[in-house]
Each structure stands twice: as structure tokens, then as C-alpha cells.
Structure 1
């Protein structure tokens, strides 16, 4: 699809939050374009899609595919947290049905496909280099496979994840609450692996293991970056040594290969000091990044995209307070999340003197990042 030069909205970033925003706008007849710097081929951690996400996808008109290639059923969550024994939280009683284990690359590509079916241009391998405010419009300067690309729009959406590159260009700072980081390995799935998300806390931090499509399983260790470095977790031998100290995670994996490819990904809790301004707003992780312990990354992104689209539509119809109201709602939601995060970590009391857990027993003090 050949891109036009002018749109009502340009979304920078084609992840779940970005494509949800674009798809919701397109369904309202609002001209929108998405700039996505990848071809949906870069590694991203697998994720468990909660039953509540079903309703959000239905609002978008996006049916989930059949179980198999892109996703597999999830029966619930097992948590070894605050106790020596796992507690099972099933999805079967949820009114929205069961959950799913998804491959994020495929899930993001699925949403992009549906957006394109609604005539949303998704310009792959295209990165916004900088934006500038002209008379009555944004000028978006991007690099595309064909060379430099210049587009204009009335409003721009920052969906660039924790980088928040558009908001930062607008002079907005990002506040970081912690330095959480994940070190993950994708393995061949052992036989008869339970179709559940397993979470297990340890003195260093916590682990999770979840099945993925194509008979794979993702295993991740999460702790603060400085603690991971001290423990040697960024080396395969160190990661394996730490894995051997777990009980339930290690038991599930069977024989491990000798050569492991580690995937390191920052996943700190952080947020913009404000998630909207004049003629721009931020969605998903660009607005605020949550601890993966919430297991709600996709759900949060879907809901954020819906709310952003509603705010953009209201602003286009003349509501001068729409962006401010959106930013205030985002700020209130993040404050509630911080309270819930503090309470959840407080339920694990077995290692109060370990740095990771001690840091989470106190009210978080945000620092500018």
C-alpha cells in the first residue's frame, strides 16, 4: 500500500498498543498510518494472554485464531510465592473463557494484519527520526527502505515502548521506579509440559516458565540489573547455576542443552511524567511500563489503545480537554498499579534481607531516566 503524505493521526510504533490505537481509529473512519521499525521478526518474550483480553479483541473485531500455530490454551497460573508449595489459579471459572500462551512476534503481526485489512498503512522498516510542529500540523521525518520519508498529521501517537522517543522529543521525562531486567531462554518443550504459567520466587528475584507454540517453552529470570550482573546471570553458565537453585521450574524442564542463547530485556517499572500534551499522546509501554509480574502486558496495551483512540477522536471533534483527561486517567491508573505492586511483593516474606526483596518492601522512589 503506497503511503499518503497526510493523515489525521500517525502512530509511531506497531506493537499491540500502537496497532490497537490505529485499528480503533480506522474503524471510526479516521485516516491513520503506523510506522513500524521492524518486519515483526525481532525476538520478544512469549506472554500469557489473560481471558479478559478476549473482550478487548472482540471490540476491535479481531478473532483469535485456532489453537496451534500462533497460540496454545493456558489453563491458569501456578505461583510458588510466599510459600514452599505452588498455588494454582485456574482460568476455567473466568466468564470470558480460558487464557492463551502466545508468541508475541506472531500476535503483534496478527494485529497488524487486521489493521491493514481496515486500510491502515503499516510502513514496516520505517523509523521516525524526529518530529517538529509546523503551522497546524506535525511534520514527521522518517527513514524508510526507499529513503527519507516526510509525512504530516494533525496528531501523533507515541507507541515506541519504554524508549518513549516521541514524548522525549516533546520534552517529557520518564521516571524509573526500579531496574528490573529479564534474562530469558527459549527451549524445546519437554514432553507433557503443563499448559500453565509457572512463577517461582527465589532470594535473587523470581522466575517464570510458560509453554509457547511450536513445542517450545520460555524460561525467564527476573531481578534488578545490578543484582543479575553480580550473580553472573548474563552468562549461560551463571544462568544455569541459578536455575539449578530453583525447585519447580527446574523439575519441569528436563535435560537442558549445553549451548544456551540468552535474551536480555529491560522490564523496569517506569512512566512518563505526563502521557499527553498538545496534539500528541503516548500509549502502552511508552506511557508506562509495568512489572511483568502483573501478567497483563497485552491486556494493558489493548485497553490503552482503546482509550487513546477515544481521546483522539474526542479531540478531533473539538474537545479541548480530551488529551488532558487521558493523561490524568493514565496517571491515576499507574498510581493504583504501584499500590498493587507493593502489596503483591509484600506477600513474599521469606527473604527480607535479600536486596531484591528489601528494595520492594519500601514505597518506590522514582528517578528520572
Structure 2
């Protein structure tokens, strides 16, 4: 048995981009619903919030506590990149204030709570199975704990991350620039650990570590998927051996225990051919996935959500070109990002013959995902 619900906008995906798009729409009085396939109880990557992202949240009306168990201040970034010795980039002089180390799971749940405070229904454990475009409306068929749901709306937002499942149902291809993948472990935090994000490049790729709330620390190795497999990084023993070959990361986190739980996640640079079309938009990673090196995934999710909400509002007001203009702006933003990515990787010249670094010395060529 199914029940039918109608909204102006349905957002598929309740991560940062999805909930903040919905929150922005709700603040304008637009009826919107979010479908989220989890209960915000699964591990989620993305642990550092930059000062610029903090400013976007304040603009949205989502304040963060000055301190607390879910958010701890981030003083800056240390990077051993292009040099044997790490350079420190402080957040203290940033006009937008400092950054935060956070529990991403709880951060996403906090954004969902703010959306619900603005009367946005967030249907947890609910997945969009199929979408159909009809004359002037969308029909969204979803599965939920209470059974099948039939929902209708004027506009659909794809916030499903790199899967971009709604865009793909619309026949839009996704192009990959690389095959970057992360292998992460969460450990107990050593006493006296500095409250900074630490990045260290190696011949295989690069590592980062950052403190987490709850006296924990995340340690991640990033390289292309094929190189990680060849290096044995997808096995706990191989990952541990590669960690022991680092200098600064190893010094900061110490020796990990024998029993490790690896979190493996594709995080390639990729984008949709176009991130908007007739009565639909893609936001956040669904529109374009950024290399975690940029530390800009959350910031871009917030910014694309703001631009998407403006475009959706304009579309509902009768401007049928708004989704196309949004897509053009997203494409321009992604092109600028690719230029910056190329320049940042060019700084590291110590291992020009290693496959990971050699692949990043040339202009990126996109392939269909």
C-alpha cells in the first residue's frame, strides 16, 4: 500500500548539501521534503570545517557552539607538501574566525535538526527508488520503513553524492578526472595532540590526520584505487606498514593497534556533464566531487546549496532558465577548481616518476564514470 504526498520541491539525500538546500527553501516559505536513506548513524567522512564554511553556516542561520563535545576548535593546517618540513597555515588571522574539527555524523544530524525546526519533513531510512517526469510535475517512488511512498513535486534536487542517482535517471553522464580513494582509520587520540590538520605527501600519495571529538583521531591515506591495491593499503597490515613509513603522521598518532577497521571510500574528482535541467538540479558532491586535498567539500556543498535554492525559487516564480544558469555557474566553478588543483599538485615535485604524481602533472582528462 502506498500513500501520496505533494511538495513544491523534493530533495533526495540528507547530507550537508541536501539539508541546507531544504533549509534555505523553507526559510522562504517553500514546501520542501528531504528523503534520507540513513538515520545519521553511519560513519561519514569530512572532519574539518574551514572558516569560510563556518561563515556560510552563519549566513544560513546555523550557529555553532563556541566549544563542546561535538565541535572542537581548529587552529590551522600543517602541510609537509613540496618540502621535507611542514609549513603551518594559521586560521587565527582569518577574517571569518577559526575552523572546527567535528564529528561529521553529528554535524549532518545537526543540520537536519535545523531543517526540521523550520518545518522540513526529513524522511529517514527512505530511498528514492524511481523518479518519473510528468507534465509539470515529478513523481517520486520511494521505499520507507512504513512501506512504499508515492510523492509528487514540481522540482527535484539530486543530493545523493557522487552516485548522482537522480541525474543518472535523467540520462546525465558523470565524468571522472581521477580515481582517488581514501583508506581511513579512527584511533584513540594521543595525549597532548595538537589541534591542527596535518597533511604529509609520500611517493604513493598523501596522508592526513585530524583530531575528532571524543578524544579520537582520524588517519587517512589517499591515492588512486589501483595504486592502493598494489601497495596492499586495503589490508590492515599493509595500511599499518605504509603508516610506519611516514614521518610526521607517524610521530603524531603513534603506533596503531593490531586490530584496525578500515573505512574505504572513493573520493575521485568528478562532475556531471550538466548539473541542472528541466525542473531538476544537483547539489554538492552530486554536482561535482572535489579532491579532499582542497578541504573544500563542505564549503562547496554549502555554496552550491545556496545557489540551488536561489535557482529553485526563481524557477517556481516562473523563470524556466534558472536551472540552466545554475548549471553554467557550477561548470565554471568546477573549471576554476581544476586549475587550482593542478597548481597545488604541481608544488610537490619530489617524486615525478611515481605514478600518483605523474598522473597529476598534466591537464586532467575526464572519462565517463
How far does residue 329 in structure 1 lie from its aligned partner after superposition? 0.2
- C-alpha contact 2:46 2:298 (8 A) present in aligned 1: no
- CA separation in 2, counterparts of 1:163 and 1:189? 33
Report the equivalent of 1:175: 175
TM-score, structure 2 length as denominator?
0.98
The reply on whether 1:224 has 2:224 as its aligned counterpart is yes
3-state DSSP of counterpart to 1:5: strand
- CA separation in 2, counterparts of 1:108 and 1:4? 27
Listed as ranges, the matches of 1:1-369 within 5 Å are 5-369=5-369
Structure 1 stretches lacking a partner, 5+ long: none
Between stretches 249-258 and 189-198, larger displacement belongs to 249-258
CA-to-aligned-CA distance 1:64-121 (integer Å, 9 cap, x gap): 0242211110000000000000000000001111100111100000000000000000
- C-alpha contact 2:4 2:150 (8 A) present in aligned 1: no
- C-alpha contact 1:11 1:32 (8 A) present in aligned 2: yes
Q: How many residues align?
A: 367
- C-alpha contact 2:4 2:149 (8 A) present in aligned 1: no
How far does residue 296 in structure 1 lie from its aligned partner after superposition? 1.1
How far does residue 4 in structure 1 lie from its aligned partner after superposition? 7.1
Between stretches 37-46 and 109-118, larger displacement belongs to 37-46
- C-alpha contact 1:80 1:200 (8 A) present in aligned 2: yes
Cα RMSD after superposing both structures: 0.9
CA-to-aligned-CA distance 1:208-259 (integer Å, 9 cap, x gap): 0000000000000000000000000000000011001100000011232110
Structure 2 stretches lacking a partner, 5+ long: none
- C-alpha contact 1:46 1:212 (8 A) present in aligned 2: no
TM-score, structure 1 length as denominator?
0.98
- CA separation in 1, counterparts of 2:235 and 2:67? 35
- CA separation in 2, counterparts of 1:255 and 1:366? 39
3-state DSSP of counterpart to 2:69: coil
- CA separation in 2, counterparts of 1:161 and 1:337? 18
- C-alpha contact 1:41 1:105 (8 A) present in aligned 2: yes
Moved over 3 A (4+): none
- C-alpha contact 1:46 1:101 (8 A) present in aligned 2: no
